[in-house]
Structure 1
Amino acid sequence: MDQVTLARALFGSSMAFHIIFATLGVGVPLMIAAAETLFQIKKDKDYETMAKRWTKGFAVLLGVAIPSGTIVGTMLTLLWPGFMEIVGQVIALPFQIEIFAFFLEALFMSIYVYAADRLSPGMRILSVTLVALGASASAVLITDAQAWMNTPQGFRYDNGVVTDVHPWQAFFNPSFFVTAGHVLVSAYMTGAFAIASIGAYQLLRGRHSERVFAYHRKGLFLGLAIGGIMSLLTALNGHETAQMLHKHQPEKLAASEGLFHTTAYAPLVVFGTPDPEVGEVVGGIKLPWMLSFLATNRFDGVVKGLYDYPREDWPPLYVHTLFNLMVGIGTLLIGYALLAVLYRYIRKRPFPRWLLLLFLTGGPLAMIGIETGWIFSCSARQPWTIYHIQRTSEAAIKSGNLGMLFVLFLSIYAVLLVLTVLVLTFYFRRHPVSAVLDKTT
């Protein structure tokens, strides 16, 4: 494995681990805020119990997200010195502001955990809402750097020298709002479906009192309701993303759809394998004209193909599979939410066991969607670290001995993951929801 590939693998594995906790760290606070608000409106103690228990779980996840995020920041400096040389001069602003977002989250998290019982209903909702706001702001600010890598602006780069820097112009780069919106709604979706999966699992166990069953049914439907709304918003944001890619990263759009020839009335191709020798996706299902519509809002819109660009500038063609996985999972999760609405409000029947088994897969599927989406976003920008400005080979570390670091950090992530599961399992087994509900009755 060459040095650049090894550096990408090491950083990618670090991000793959961190993104789990970072995503839940954004999605779960929204669920806590929703449960707290429902408690104050409906005065149903079950929702208060949900908010408190989910907060305990969130605190554990946050305890892993912070050190893993620190490791990712260290790796940026260690593995990509050429990239950080430009970042430090141009796009440091969101990282600086993110400190205040984290401060907001940590401050009101402490207030909510330790003083909720002494706060008025309005202040309780405000404090937990500010926790969610701080978590969301952190995600948006960190994502801004990723957006800037895809659509860099706010500086000039001539002969390896950065000049004419405009930090706010770099901050509000062309893909900022679309990318930040996608990260937020997909994180909210993932947090909601993770909660729904826990509810489905508890209902499938079938060893609870009716009181506990009622509690888990409420948690399950709350997760499905918010997850369904966010999955629909994610799909709508996908349309905006396609238009952004068409305008600013046409190679990325072409690779994601396996489009080789510049085409009007371009089809959207689902599944299959892009074959550059044949010049099309082999074995795919074509949806006529749909890619042109997604990219241009016109069925006759012209979409550029990969043959318009040098072969060395093509993204890897496996991003077509990643894109299909991401979109397919999002579509499936929308279907889960629609099934929940059908059974609850139209058929007015309890969820059958087969449907609970489907809901159980919602959280893991959402997380796989997050992972594939992140890999897609970074891989489809290749061979560039900063699009059309700095190649990945120019940004990477030049010294060797990364193999030992790769093994070391993978071992650390494995230990952290096992410890997280053990701590969460131990805590919630020692503090079962049945004991809490008995105290509130």
Structure 2
Amino acid sequence: MEHLVTARSMFGMTMGVHIIFATLGVGIPLMILLAELLYQRTKDKDYELMAKRWTKGAAILLGVAIPTGTIAGVQLALLWPGFMEVVGKVMSLPFQIEIYAFFIEALFLSIYVYAADRISRTMRIVSLILVAIGAVASAVLITNVHAFEGTPAGFRIVNGEITDVDPWGAFFNPSFITTAGHVAVSAYATGAFVIASIAAFKMLRSRKEPRLYRFHQKALMMGLIVGGIFSFLTALNGHESAQLLYEYQPEKLAGAEGLFETTDYAPLTIGGFTDRETQTVKWGIEIPWALSFLADDRFDTVVAGLNDFPEEYWPPLFIHTLFNGMVGIGALLILLSILGIAWYKFMKKRGFPKWLMWAFVISGPLAILSVEFGWIFACTGRQPWVIYRIMKTSESVTTSANLEFLFALFLIVYAILVVAVSLVLIYYFKRNPLEKELADMN
């Protein structure tokens, strides 16, 4: 494998693994907080039990997010020394503040895990609020570095030297707010649908046990409602993200839609595959004028095509497929949420049909897959730049050899981590079955 490709693949593998645990580490604490609030309001002990059990799962996931996040930090310095030189001088604030955010999350999660039964109702809620704030702050701060890569600000490079450094200007770069919002709402949606997915699977297995079935049904409806709300907010935020691409990274927007020629009243192409030779999207379905409206809220907006830029600046054309996968899954999750809530409200006595239950089961994996698509799209669509129009990825990569060996080593490490966390989760919940906890609660 080419040296640059190996380096990118290694870091991409690290982030592909880490983002699963990081996303759930943001989304599940919100679900725990909402379950606790529902318990305090309704005195329904099912919600209290949900909060406690989900907290145990969140603690296990956090235990894996820490080493994968640490590896990502090490690999940044190992693989991308050119980029880290700029970050060290310009964009170190998010890394420094993130330490405190993680400390708050870990501290108050520990308090809730070990002392929930010994602290006041107010303190339980405060602890979970701080856990949720710490979790989302960690994600937002680290993702701000990615926002900076796409819309760099707060410094200049003169004769190869970094000058006029403004750390806060870099921190509040043009895409910070939109990127931070997208990370937060998509993580909340993913956490909710993972909860709904597990609950639906458990409902399928406990149809003949009414007590268990009701417990999981409450968790399912909670997941569908929260997931639906935040999936819709993710879609709204995606509109803002597209407008940022239109303004700051037009090649990326053109690549996402397979648009080669600059045009007004530009169509939005759904599905299909971008063909470089014919400069078309094969088998795609065009929605007239929609891309122009998405870009700047006007149907006559002129959208730049890829042919306006040197071909060496084009992102990989497969990002159109990634973009469609992300958007398509998001739309499906919104539809599933609406359908599930409507069915529960109007057809409550009949229960959910089996096909719909299995659709709920796959909603969690689909939400995670959408996050993966989105992350790969965001990073790959910026290529060939590591810092847009300032530093190419090839200029930042390490000159160290033997990356193939490290790639294989990290692949083994991640395989062990994923298997280990799966076994630990299975072992813990088998040792602490819901049936026993419900019986003890009653």
What is the percentage of aligned positions where both structures have the same residue? 61
Say whether 1:39 aligns with 2:32. Answer: no
Say whether 1:229 aligns with 2:206. Answer: no
Q: CA RMSD, aligned part only?
A: 0.9
Q: Is the 8 A contact 2:206 2:212 kept in 1?
A: no
Q: Secondary structure at the match of 2:281?
A: strand
- Quote the residue 1:210 is aligned against: 210
**TM-fit CA distance, 1:208:** 5.6
- Quote the residue 1:344 is aligned against: 344
Separation in 2, partners of 1:366, 1:195: 11
Q: Secondary structure at the match of 1:366?
A: helix
Q: Secondary structure at the match of 1:264?
A: coil
Say whether 1:293 aligns with 2:289. Answer: no
Say whether 1:90 aligns with 2:97. Answer: no
| Aligned AA (1:383) | P
- Quote the residue 2:392 is aligned against: 391
Separation in 2, partners of 1:276, 1:158: 37
**TM-fit CA distance, 1:116:** 1.3
Q: Secondary structure at the match of 1:286?
A: strand
| Aligned AA (2:428) | Y
**TM-fit CA distance, 1:207:** 6.2
1:383-431 Cα deviation digits (max 9, x unpaired)? 0000000000000011210010000000000001111010000110110
| Aligned AA (2:187) | A
Separation in 1, partners of 2:200, 2:126: 30
Q: Is the 8 A contact 2:271 2:324 kept in 1?
A: yes
**TM-fit CA distance, 1:298:** 0.4
Separation in 1, partners of 2:428, 2:204: 21
| Aligned AA (1:360) | V
Q: Is the 8 A contact 1:260 1:276 kept in 2?
A: no
**TM-fit CA distance, 1:124:** 1.0
Separation in 2, partners of 1:403, 1:207: 50
Separation in 2, partners of 1:147, 1:85: 17
- Comparing 272-281 with 411-420, greater Cα deviation is found at 272-281
- Quote the residue 2:149 is aligned against: 149
- Quote the residue 1:129 is aligned against: 129
Q: Is the 8 A contact 1:256 1:317 kept in 2?
A: yes
Separation in 1, partners of 2:161, 2:394: 18
Q: Secondary structure at the match of 2:162?
A: strand
Q: Is the 8 A contact 1:147 1:173 kept in 2?
A: yes
Number of matched residues?
441
| Aligned AA (1:177) | I
What are structure 1's unaligned runs of at least 5 residues?
none
Separation in 1, partners of 2:179, 2:159: 30
**Counterpart mapping for 1:192-341 below 5 A:** 192-206=192-206, 209-341=209-341
| Aligned AA (1:232) | F
Separation in 1, partners of 2:8, 2:336: 35
Q: Is the 8 A contact 1:193 1:223 kept in 2?
A: yes
TM-score scaled by length of structure 1: 0.99
| Aligned AA (2:407) | F
Separation in 1, partners of 2:260, 2:159: 33
Separation in 1, partners of 2:315, 2:252: 7
TM-score scaled by length of structure 2: 0.98
1:251-306 Cα deviation digits (max 9, x unpaired)? 10000000111110000001112223323212210000000000010011111111
Separation in 2, partners of 1:11, 1:226: 32
